[in-house]
A and B are shown apart, each in its own frame.
Chain A
């Protein structure tokens, strides 16, 4: 196993970053950190806030880089080789594309069951990743050992 992709959803799933680094270290694999600015979320949030979608996307982009920046520090401190990437679009399609483009061996996905209305949406994304991403997937449940 040479290439592992960690899909970064939010800061809440940081436990999965540690796991991804440990696995990458054990396998001497390169860790690809991926954050996706979900275009549907941009539309929804900007509409709710009544702001320009570009402003929302820029804010999400800064948040994404902040998370990738933390991941980078953690990877470097553990001596793990990493590649950071931020994309804009549909998360499932982006992951699929990255898996093919970089010949990824495994995808790691941090999962924390959200509460309320976003639960169904998050579960749908996880389901779609499982169904469509053509490589082994490790779902790291937050709060697990």
Chain B
């Protein structure tokens, strides 16, 4: 289940985001000091490299940036809710409100696919997206995911 992978400390709700890359750097920085990552720079580099060439899941209002790197020991899932929305270079030019960042080592490929499949399945439900958009705290986000992750 997805909820088993979620650390509430890696969920945040914000309306102060300058841009896509600033958000992604901020998300990586929030994992520092928690024993989850070895070094910051390779992760940022890998995420940016992929974001320039690829986007996963063309779901309205949702972005799923990701990276594979040996700078993490196990899969990390981080969630950001951006209350005012953020320009994420989406093809439909609509703002993104929900960001799932996945960083995983190469050997966690199967786990990564299962997580991605589960996130994508939940995000296709309009009710899930609208509830997450309205969430005001990590606890609320966690609870919504718990309710839909069945």
Contacts and interface: CB of A to CB of B under 8 A. Distances in A.
A76 interface: yes
Interface string A48-64: 00000000011001101
A42 interface: no
Contacts, number: 57
Question: Chain B: interface secondary structure?
Answer: helix
Given A86-B120, A101-B92, A66 B53 contact: no
B92 A83 contact: no
B45 interface: no
Contacts of B121: 57-58, 61
A82 B58 CA distance: 11
B55 interface: yes
Nearest to A66: B113
Contacts of A66: 113
B50 A76 contact: yes
Given A83-B58, A85-B58, A88-B124, A65 B113 contact: yes
Contacts of A72: 54, 56
Contacts of B53: 75-76, 79-82
Interface string B35-70: 000000000000001101111111000000000000
B117 interface: yes
Contacts of A130: none
Given A62-B114, A102-B91, 19 more contacts: A58-B118, A61-B121, A62-B113, A64-B117, A65-B116, A65-B117, A69-B112, A69-B116, A72-B56, A75-B54, A76-B54, A79-B53, A81-B54, A83-B55, A83-B91, A84-B58, A86-B57, A102-B58, A102-B92
Interface of A: 32, 57-58, 61-62, 64-66, 68-69, 72, 75-76, 79-88, 101-102
